[in-house]
Structure 1
Amino acid sequence: MTVQPNPDSDPITEPRADASSRYFNRELSWLAFNRRVLEEACNTAHPLLERLRFLSISGSNLDEFFMTRVAGLIGQQIQGIAQRSPDGRTPKQQLAAIVEAGDALVDSQQGVWRDLVTALDAQGIRIVDGDRMPPDVASWLATYFREQLFPILTPQALDPAHPFPFIPNGGLSVIFDLVRLSDREPIRELVLLPSGVSRFVRVPGDEPHFLTIEEVIKRFSHQLFPGYEVKASAAFRILRDSDIELEEEAEDLFLYFRSAIKRRRRGRVIRLEMENGIVPDLEQVLKEELGGAQALLTETGGFLGIGDLAQLVEVERPDLRFPPYSARFPERIREFGGDCFAAIRAKDIIVHHPYESFDVVLEFLKQAAADPDVVAIKQTLYRAGKQSAVINALIAAAEAGKSVTAVVELKARFDEEQNLLWASALERAGVQVVYGFIDWKTHAKISMVVRREGAGFRSYCHFGTGNYHPVTARIYTDLSFFTADPRLGRDAAAVFNYVTGYVEPDSLELLSISPRGLRRRLMQLIDGEIAHALAGRPAAIWAKMNSLVDPAIIEKLYEASNAGVEIDLIVRGICCLRPGVPEMSARIRVRSIVGRFLEHSRIWAFADGEDLPNDGAKLFLSSADWMPRNFDRRVEFMLPVLNETVHDQVLDQVMVANLLDSEQSWELQPDGSYVRVDPGAKPFNLHRYFMTNPSLSGRGAASGRRGSVPTLSLTRRRRPIG
């Protein structure tokens, strides 16, 4: 079925003549974010292995960027699409800038790695040079190679009778130039490193010493190629186009994605990374066989595949990692004997992850599955992880005879394969599995439980800013909102009907959703602040999100700034808005927070005629970032926070703490650079604050005691208008 055109589509379609002075480029802004992640690897306030973790994250982030965003631009260039980005650049111009900034970032990663190698060595964690090794270790390594590696390695000759083999995405390989000793005949061989084998080999000893697997293969190449002399060798790695383009005529999404995932593994080579110092002959053959006309080629002067360094982070040195943190279970649930439904029925609850345990979400679903009075469960699933208690709860509910509906989003990038597996498991258990719209992703995180109570039914809902993923819930900061408000129950039911049956809601009582009006509602809220400013009343906007890209929203924020609205934005990643420019964005401030946890929640506050924070401020939670895709091509929600306690926690605690943070924050400058916030005489770390201070909502009755939670205060001086 074809859905109706979106009446809320972005009204800005063509770049303005002055676009480059009004917007930052999306892709370059993302690279700037990943540089901030890399900077945390240099932050000596972090334990050493956590610094290594940040380095590995920056590497895996960059890989995904090339496999998706850069692949898309290369695809546009191949197809001759000259559509300009909002900042006025063609795909070719963007690619040129990306290559320059990306190569500089890779160089920085290698420099950080060299520094960390020295620091790790000082702690007894060593990356061993295979040529300088004690005899006993060398003997052990020879045995390891012979018994563990040799049986799974398959050298492949490269000659007219043996064409260059397929290299999988992310695959690391070693190419050899050999000479046969018997007749000096040259031969070229390729060894693909098995994907299931660890990148690092730990050698025996009291202290953790490692060799890379490619180093081991090179060291024992004489055993792989007996009777041959190695003239040259080099490791290399490729990244392929990993985006899945959805064809409108796809009638069966399940079958389409199952085949599309197989095609992705063989996608166009986007980036070829070669070991530094590779001899010209080997470099030439790799370029001819793998490079192609569009592939981006680079020599890496250090470690190939920075993301693989995550394997070293788990070495047995807890003194070099963050102290373990155990999330709290919300006291309000405990006050009702652990009965989630009784606690939610009494009062709306907000749970702040990862400081408060994701177990409360799992318990909500488990109790629903086991409760004989529960008749129906409806659940959206965007990313659920590989070991998902959420899936198990839904299966248990279906097997108990309840009506269970699961909206499984097959288009969740890099989770498509896992979601296909979950969909099959759910269907086998009797769950009604729905894949939603062909053109749009269902990104809203909603769970709805319908329970028989008395002579009727009551709906209990969970709305989340993050995924139903128990692993990321331990490292992403997100909000879980539980409610039995019948208005939100009716709205949630309407959203599910929209996704499962394409039944467009006539009207919603409290929720706003995309792609049916969310951008328009935001515009109205910003217009409200503009009206307050023009009338001489206090006017302010606080907004927290992951990315800010949408040109229409950016232009409206510029208008608000010029009208006198004070705007504070917390944008962790991409930000295309240019702040602090006179006569355009002088009243807009943007900061990015990068620290122990990944800031992921979306919170928006509008002052409504008084200084923020205030009890009457219009406050919203959402699953959406301010990007065209979230407004135009995804099903998202925006939920007003009406409960006083929840309102206080989210606005006066969460938002104020984000604005107060001075240890993990960066400020975006008008020229696009980011500058660390000066921690000052009294540094404040929002992650540490919430790790040590329970939330208002989660504390239950304890929150009423004076001084139970330290008060946060933020003073903003309003600038005169004009």
Structure 2
Amino acid sequence: MPDLNDSSLYLNRELSWLKFNTRVLAQSMKKELPLFERLKFLAIYATNLDEFYMIRVAGLKQLFSAGVIETGADQKTPLDQLREIRAYLASEKEVIQSSYEEIVADLEKENLYIKNYHELGPVLARQANDYFFSNILPVIVPIAVNATHPFPHLNNLSFSLAVKLQDGESEEEGNYKYGMIRIPRVLPRFFQAGENTYVPIESIVKKHVEEIFPGYRLIASAAFRVTRNADMVIEEEEADDFMMIMEQGLKLRRKGAFVRLNIEEGADPDILEFLNSHMQIFFKDIYTYKIPLNLGALWQIVGNKDFSHLALPPYNPKVLPPFDSNESVFKVIDKGDVLLFHPYESFDPVLKLIKEASKDPKVISIRMTLYRVEKNSQIVQALIDAANEGKQVTAVVELKARFDEENNLHWAKALEQAGAHVVYGITGFKVHAKIAQVIRQEEDGKLKFYMHLSTGNYNGATAKVYTDTSFFTCKEDFAKDGTTFFHILSGFSKYKKLQTLSMSPTQIKPKVVSLIHNEAKFGAEGRIIVKMNSLVDPDVIQALYEASMAGVQIDIIARGICCLRPGVAGVSETIRVKSIVGKYLEHARIFYFKNAEPTTTFISSADWMPRNLERRLELMTPIFDKALQQKLFEILQLQLNDNALSWNLGSNGDYTQAVSSDEKSINNHTILEDYMNKIYKAQKKDSTHRAEKLVKRLFKES
């Protein structure tokens, strides 16, 4: 019997995540993709990497400083991980630069240019000069650093130009002055000169340094960008006013320790020494680039509507049967459970449920969890309207939703002012469950409960680009559990358990492990297909190894991190792992266990990670309706067959891109778009029966 605690059976979490981001970067190099799509993936890669350094690398540095030795099932020390991360990112730097340069060269063939100031012709240079004096000079902050001017505070991800100056009247070398020019976030990353040329702001500022520091001569300059530790540790037990503590935490985030410096390649060594004498960043966390810093800002160029032909054609999510009529959303749910797959099916029915509930005089209560909502959220506005109308509104606003804290604080205050009861999560846990409950008084005076359970956030913006499942029901078993769950959130309850739904941190992990063990009893007749963002939890991985050793065929679709090592002789020979990276961000969690009773199929807000299973309040929802089970199963089958967007994980921990070769190329994103368009056309031709049939049998007639 193999030792399933052997560290060699587990891939490192951080390195697995880096390989996911490499798969994102690989999309930017796909010649078959339109140029704006390739730019988008460069922007996503860079933004992902910022967060990785702010949270994961910062955390490893803290563990190392605290003397922590082991951190996971792979038994790598924090120092081991930091060394491997730095080596990995150093080797990837050339790929980022070559991808960017290749895309820029191809954009020039389309008459779209990204140029530094010194590359501009006279006409565009004059435009850039005018822009400098009218828009840049009034808002930039020139900073001298000397005995009477201390080194300034630099906010996380702030962008500046460091300068080395000399007295303009002095002919002698030396006696240099050092300073910097802060480039505020209110300025766009690029100045658009003419209709088709983008100029990095720092190259315009560099041209005018001597006007910013009059009387001094510019000797050298270098654009740089800093990254700070952005994780927040909130001492909840000591917090009388949790909202106040969160606001203080957000301010402290701006002052976290420096963890990375990005600086332009070829920077004067004196400038680098000047900066790092104040920031004290480990030299291997200093990255030099010959391309513009902050590639996350490339969205500005992608947004140019005059070049929309360089992007993929937009897909408009469809409102399909049974939500395609003008019938009340409550009547639709009364007829039977409904399951949607976003973004192919529109998020509008979710919005309609809350909006209709806010206006319906028979609705007496609305309860919702809010984890990440957009800035102009129609859902939150509907909750505010409902509270203003005197309805009982309970909103669980998770203030600890990382990088959405400020937005959530804003909405929490607005809801409170409207009279809603706002719960700021649970002490020691994040509330990551996605659930809404509408309580409506029927004609006979009885209360009826309408439930919505999802794998994604109540966010209309991300619902257009994230794939997620969305489940509507008014079945009594779900209603009872929904009520219990909200009571747990708003009151005191140590021992409550749900009966139909499963809740973490007490129920989901034992349930998942039990379902895996159950399949193992059936040996080669066992079958598991699971789809999630990340697989990390060592107990769940051990259960999967045991099932594989029993002969169970297991397929795992894990977009991001996977710490399980597939294909190991005698341990995981029957396990296959794939990752799908493409136009849409794969966010749904769908679990299929062939021999489970009373249902084979589940959706969940939780990934199989310790944080989701042990430190968050999450929900796992069983799907009992046979047609909806079939719909989810066919989604899983389609993604397993995908050979256009897929990467397969090998036993060595490396991912290789799936190759279609002589086979038909199967891109699950475009197939689903086409299929939903087909249903929509059938619906428009007044063939409601045909449309409903297509919805129920998702791919059989595709």
Is 2:280 the partner of 1:299?
no
Of 45, 54, 63, which residue of structure 2 is paired with 1:76? 63
Contact persistence 2:229–2:257 (CA under 8 A)? yes
- Counterpart of 2:317 in structure 1 is 327
Contact persistence 1:495–1:505 (CA under 8 A)? no
Is 2:36 the partner of 1:49?
yes
Alignment partners' CA distance in 1, 2:253 and 2:314: 38
Alignment partners' CA distance in 2, 1:302 and 1:65: 21
- Counterpart of 2:359 in structure 1 is 370
Alignment partners' CA distance in 2, 1:425 and 1:587: 52
- Counterpart of 1:590 in structure 2 is 577
Alignment partners' CA distance in 1, 2:658 and 2:694: 32
Alignment partners' CA distance in 1, 2:677 and 2:104: 40
Of 499, 507, 510, which residue of structure 2 is paired with 1:509? 499
- Counterpart of 1:121 in structure 2 is 108
- Counterpart of 2:483 in structure 1 is 493
Contact persistence 2:35–2:310 (CA under 8 A)? yes
- Counterpart of 1:657 in structure 2 is 638
Displacement of 1:251 in angstroms is 3.1
Displacement of 1:645 in angstroms is 1.7
- Counterpart of 2:170 in structure 1 is 183
Alignment partners' CA distance in 2, 1:43 and 1:617: 41
Code of the residue aligned with 2:116 in structure 1: it is D
Alignment partners' CA distance in 1, 2:575 and 2:67: 37
Displacement of 1:679 in angstroms is 1.7
Question: Residue by residue, what CA displacement relative to the aligned partner does 1:340-395 show, whole Å, maximum 9, x if unpaired?
Answer: 00000111001111011111111000000000000101000000111101110100
TM-score (norm 1): 0.92
Contact persistence 1:175–1:234 (CA under 8 A)? yes
Is 2:629 the partner of 1:647?
yes
Of 217, 224, 233, which residue of structure 2 is paired with 1:236? 224
- Counterpart of 2:611 in structure 1 is 629
Closer/same/farther in 2, CA of residues 498 and 423 from structure 1, 3 Å limit:
same
Instruction: List aligned pairs for 1:285-296, cutoff 5 A.
Output: 285-292=274-281, 296=285
Alignment partners' CA distance in 1, 2:496 and 2:256: 43
Instruction: List aligned pairs for 1:99-498, cutoff 5 A.
Output: 99-184=86-171, 186-204=176-194, 207-247=195-235, 248-292=237-281, 296-315=285-304, 316-335=306-325, 337-453=326-442, 454-498=444-488
**Which deviates the most, 482-491 or 152-161?**
152-161
Contact persistence 2:222–2:263 (CA under 8 A)? yes
Does the residue aligned with 1:87 lie in a helix, a strand or coil?
coil
Displacement of 1:154 in angstroms is 2.0
Alignment partners' CA distance in 2, 1:64 and 1:293: 18
Alignment partners' CA distance in 1, 2:401 and 2:122: 50
Does the residue aligned with 2:117 lie in a helix, a strand or coil?
coil
Closer/same/farther in 2, CA of residues 253 and 87 from structure 1, 3 Å limit:
same
Instruction: List aligned pairs for 1:686-697, cutoff 5 A.
Output: 686-694=668-676
Code of the residue aligned with 2:637 in structure 1: it is V
Does the residue aligned with 1:496 lie in a helix, a strand or coil?
helix
Code of the residue aligned with 1:677 in structure 2: it is A
Displacement of 1:490 in angstroms is 0.4
Does the residue aligned with 1:152 lie in a helix, a strand or coil?
coil
Is 2:620 the partner of 1:673?
no
Code of the residue aligned with 1:645 in structure 2: it is A
Does the residue aligned with 1:477 lie in a helix, a strand or coil?
strand
Contact persistence 2:599–2:622 (CA under 8 A)? no
Code of the residue aligned with 2:537 in structure 1: it is D
- Counterpart of 1:12 in structure 2 is none
Contact persistence 1:579–1:670 (CA under 8 A)? yes
Does the residue aligned with 2:341 lie in a helix, a strand or coil?
strand
Displacement of 1:144 in angstroms is 1.6
- Unaligned 5+ runs, structure 2: none
Closer/same/farther in 2, CA of residues 314 and 493 from structure 1, 3 Å limit:
same
Code of the residue aligned with 1:619 in structure 2: it is T
Displacement of 1:271 in angstroms is 0.3
Contact persistence 1:561–1:567 (CA under 8 A)? yes
Does the residue aligned with 1:343 lie in a helix, a strand or coil?
helix
Displacement of 1:673 in angstroms is 0.8
Question: Residue by residue, what CA displacement relative to the aligned partner does 1:469-505 show, whole Å, maximum 9, x if unpaired?
Answer: 1110000000110000010000011111111113246
Is 2:594 the partner of 1:607?
yes
Return the structure number with greater relative CO, CA threshold 8 A, min gap 6: 1
| Aligned residues with identical type, % of pairs | 39
Alignment partners' CA distance in 1, 2:369 and 2:512: 24
Alignment partners' CA distance in 2, 1:643 and 1:694: 21
Alignment partners' CA distance in 2, 1:293 and 1:573: 28
TM-score (norm 2): 0.95
Code of the residue aligned with 2:433 in structure 1: it is A
**How many residues are paired up?**
687
Closer/same/farther in 2, CA of residues 435 and 86 from structure 1, 3 Å limit:
same
